[in-house]
Amino acid sequence: MKQWIFLTILVLISQVSMAQEISWVKYPTHLNLDNGASVSHPCVLLANNKYHLWYVNNNNISYAKSTDGVIWEEYPSNPVLTDGGDGDWDGDFVSQPSVVYDGALYRMWFTGYDGSNLRIGYATSTDGVVWNKYTAGPVLDLGVSDSLDGNGVSGAAVVSDGTVYRMWYTGYDGSNMRVGYATSTDGVVWNKHTAGPVLDLGVSDSLDDTGVSGAAVVFDGTVYHMCYTGYDGNNMRIGYATSTDGVAWHKDESNPVLNLGATDFWDNAGVMSPSVLYDGILYRMWYTGYDGSKMKIGYAIGERPSPAYLNSQVEWVKYPANLNLGTDTSHPSVLFNGDKYHAWYVTDNGINYAKSTDGVVWEEYPSNPVLTDGSDGEWDRDFVSQPSVVYDGALYRMWFTGYDGSNMKIGYATSTDGVDWHKHTINSVLDLGINGSWDDAGVSGPSVLYFDGLYRMWFTGYDGSNMRIGYATSTDGMDWNKYGTNSVLNLGANDDWDYVGVSSPSVLWDGILYHLFYTGYDGDKMRVGYATSTDGVVWHKDESNPVLNLGANDYWDDAVVSAPNIIYDGKLYRMFYTGYDGSNLRIGYAMAQVPLPNPLLANAGTDVNIYPGTGTILNGLATGGTPPYNYSWSPITGLTQPNIANPIASPSTTTIYTLTVTDSNDWTAQDEVVVTVSTAATIFIQPATNSLTADKSVAFTCMARDGNGNTWTVTNQTTFTTNDPAGTITANVYQPGKAGTWTITAIYSGLVATATVNVTYGTATALFIQPAT
């Protein structure tokens, strides 16, 4: 059975190059697994809503578990797999685990060393911690001398499709490491691909011109994705390659996809031995980092491009650490100008500035703050906060909140470089509402857009009891006209997550819809919600709110997530937000990711053998995609109904039937099934009896037999003859003519078979006479 998948552009996101479509962003520190020792070679699985990690520690294999893939709980009785005894093939150490879980049994392939050579062994476990080694020795041994793996095999990466185990492993020939390939039906007996390495050394001066090793492979249903360790004689870095069959690999032109850390970082001397998985939302990588002294395990997340338009399918995935902008920082306003990210954010000293090349690691301006509170008696004398910055290519414009000890109002400043700011001389530019209005006690937290010659501001209004979101417009950014007399985003229904307050808007316009992200407050928690509008005035809150929730217990944002700021940088929608743990405010980051669609798959069933003149039911099946499904079989020859899932096929000759499935989104998938019509190699005939009297008849059955010993009846397609000169044969029934031993001959499809029949006159039981006249 062969399978192809033809999907729309959304599904193809999962199949294009990780390197081209995914940017790997490292977690800023190594994971909490070191205990002062070197740890390395992670293997991570996601099972039963937990991440499971097997890794190398002190030449043995240890285990840890995690709910988020970042904070790990080590197994108290580590290690879980140890080296063998003296003289064993793994007597010196065990390393490089690769684990597959089928829902009932964990299977581990690991590297063992005896002091001379590396080999690959096998172990099983029902719980992932108590392991039983395969006792007959390594399951993948050295190759012949001068071969790819004549001096060592190690670093297995195993993928199972439920029928076949596929292993990519590191082979060592005494000079270089390359990646080999083997298959197995049971995980124990392996058949090596004998045509040499499937991933070879790179060209001179490339990432991997001296060695390729330590592969991790993910299969998405169509394409195999490999992240591997490349060695150039000086550094180990992580590269990427793809394959449709697991044998012919194509390295990515943008390699390496994960580079060395910066000088003095914990991974500045080497990044290697990746373990990669996709959890339904995000690609995640765990890898070994080296600083020249010790190895540690690191973590990176793969950012896929956001959809062109935000929608309710988006899930906001938090970067696992707060940004490096210090404590007591909040209310970010971020711009992207095609080259750098620029952030203005709030500290105790005023509004600071920082820049970044990736939106994650920031360089703070050395002369911060760039905007400070006003002098005594001024409208912003107590503090300035909540900036919203717009850049028109020549001038930066900032709207910000100022506080005089009694009320918050919104002011305005300009800058040519983003750091040297000049407050507008007539501030504030947005004042309190009239007494008794919804914003008579404060206006704050502006979010400003400019297009079509108009500045548009969404802001927080306060009436002394609750916060709501209002709207204003301006032609110059200074003279603002509030919309109507009411807020445009109101409190949620009683006991809803935002029924006490809505505030801190951040608005995007995509040419079709306005997208509003805001802080919702229920009297206990602050979280981030989402709403859409066609005019910026009438808003529809998303049913899945809140879209950004509190962090887990003891996380830096476990008490509050608020004050979102949303940007689109041409690839990703990014949210910068304020998190609070009960003690400190910090700035976090999240990215918009759409779960990859469940791929539409067609299954035409298993190949089947039939006999001429018979039929079989084709067992077509569709999964994934979006039902309902339409089915189409081709060719239609021999089919009863070619547009149903389960037609009857009665071909006269062997036929390959192709099933095409189309779902409600017009995604299509195909699969093939072979209906083999057996060909007779021999025939034989069987009379009902070999002896009969001349007054009786006998029926013959003709059977065909193929080369595999299968037999079937071909009587109705057989021609019968006899050498009885007085006898007759009608169809398959012989009527004797006279006594004797006669031959019956059968001819079917050019094949001949014979049988003999003894015919007698029998014994007289009555007499009669006939006169001649």
**Amino acid identity at 510:** D
- In the chain, helix, strand, coil percent, each to 5? 0, 50, 50
What DSSP element (H or E) covers 157? Answer: strand 152-160
Total of domains in the chain: 4
Asked if residue 729 has pLDDT above 70, the reply is: yes
Asked if residue 265 has pLDDT above 50, the reply is: yes
Residues 273 and 354 in one domain: no
Residues 668 and 727 in one domain: no
Q: Where are the beta strands (DSSP E) in 265-340?
A: 270-278, 283-290, 295-303, 315-318, 330-336
In a domain, 628, yes or no: yes
In a domain, 617, yes or no: yes
Q: What is the mean pLDDT of the chain?
A: 91
β-sheet bridge partners, residue 316: 592
Query: Which of 68, 27, 76, 32 has the alpha carbon at shortest distance from 50?
Result: 68
Distance CA 417, CA 335 (A): 13
In a domain, 772, yes or no: no
Q: What is the pLDDT of residue 761?
A: 83
Residues 746 and 650 in one domain: no
In a domain, 625, yes or no: yes
pLDDT tens digits for range 133-168: 999 999 999 999 889 999 999 999 999 988 899 999
pLDDT tens digits for range 30-81: 998 877 789 999 999 998 889 999 999 999 999 999 988 998 999 999 999 9
Q: What is the pLDDT of residue 3?
A: 29
Average pLDDT over residues 493-515: 95
In a domain, 771, yes or no: no
Give the pair of three-digit tokens for residue 44: 């991570």
Pick the more confident residue, 315 or 586: 586
pLDDT tens digits for range 568-616: 988 889 999 999 999 999 999 999 887 665 667 889 998 998 988 889 9
Residues 212 and 339 in one domain: no
Cα three-residue angle 173-176-178, rounded to 5 degrees: 85
Distance CA 317, CA 592 (A): 6
Residues 338 and 445 in one domain: yes
Sign of CA dihedral 325, 278, 251, 569: negative
Residues 381 and 525 in one domain: yes
Distance CA 109, CA 101 (A): 12
Range 374-383, long-range pairs (CB < 8 A, 24+ positions): 374/402, 374/423, 378/402, 378/404, 379/404, 379/409, 379/411, 379/427, 379/428, 380/404, 380/409, 380/411, 380/427, 380/428, 381/405, 383/350
Average pLDDT over residues 655-660: 94
pTM for the predicted model, two decimal places: 0.68
Give the pair of three-digit tokens for residue 541: 């809150």
Distance CA 554, CA 662 (A): 48
Residues 52 and 167 in one domain: yes
Domain extent, residue 734, equals: 682-760
First to last CA, the chain: 79
pLDDT tens digits for range 676-696: 998 888 989 998 888 988 889
Distance CA 609, CA 232 (A): 53
Sign of CA dihedral 224, 230, 236, 240: negative
Distance CA 477, CA 24 (A): 39
b/e code 199-215 from CB counts within 10 Å (16+ = b) = bebbeeeebbbbbbbbb
Last residue of a domain, one of 648, 677, 706: 677
In a domain, 278, yes or no: yes
User: What CATH number corresponds to the domain at position 485?
Assistant: 2.115.10.20
Close Cβ partners of 215 (under 8 Å, ≥ 6 residues apart): 155, 157, 168, 169, 170, 179, 199, 226, 227, 228, 229
Instruction: Return the SS3 of 691.
Output: strand
Average pLDDT over residues 301-307: 81
Q: What is the pLDDT of residue 599?
A: 67
Residues 378 and 268 in one domain: no
User: What CATH number corresponds to the domain at position 643?
Assistant: 2.60.40.10
Q: What is the pLDDT of residue 1?
A: 31
What values do phi and psi take at 516, rounded to 5?
-115, 125
Distance CA 194, CA 211 (A): 20
Cα three-residue angle 261-266-267, rounded to 5 degrees: 40
Last residue of a domain, one of 569, 593, 617: 593
In a domain, 377, yes or no: yes
Asked if residue 769 has pLDDT above 80, the reply is: no
pLDDT tens digits for range 216-257: 999 988 889 999 999 999 999 999 999 999 999 999 988 999
Distance CA 267, CA 233 (A): 17
Q: What is the pLDDT of residue 613?
A: 81
Distance CA 143, CA 622 (A): 43
Asked if residue 10 has pLDDT above 70, the reply is: no
Asked if residue 4 has pLDDT above 50, the reply is: no
Close Cβ partners of 29 (under 8 Å, ≥ 6 residues apart): 266, 321
Asked if residue 20 has pLDDT above 90, the reply is: no
Identify how many contiguous H helices and E strands the chain contains and give both numbers.
2, 58
Asked if residue 8 has pLDDT above 60, the reply is: no
Last residue of a domain, one of 234, 269, 303: 303
Q: In what order do the strands lie in the sheet with 740-748?
A: 691-693, 751-760, 740-748, 719-722
What values do phi and psi take at 766, rounded to 5?
-160, 155
What values do phi and psi take at 383, rounded to 5?
-165, 160
Residues 280 and 327 in one domain: no
189-203, 282-296, 681-695: lowest mean pLDDT where?
681-695
In a domain, 309, yes or no: no
Residues 110 and 243 in one domain: yes
Query: Which of 573, 461, 605, 596 has the alpha carbon at shortest distance from 509?
Result: 573
pLDDT tens digits for range 408-438: 999 999 999 999 999 998 899 999 999 999 9
Per-residue DSSP letter, 103: S
pLDDT tens digits for range 442-472: 999 999 999 999 999 999 999 999 999 999 9
User: What CATH number corresponds to the domain at position 701?
Assistant: 2.60.40.1930
Q: What is the pLDDT of residue 278?
A: 87
Residues 131 and 277 in one domain: yes
Residues 207 and 86 in one domain: yes
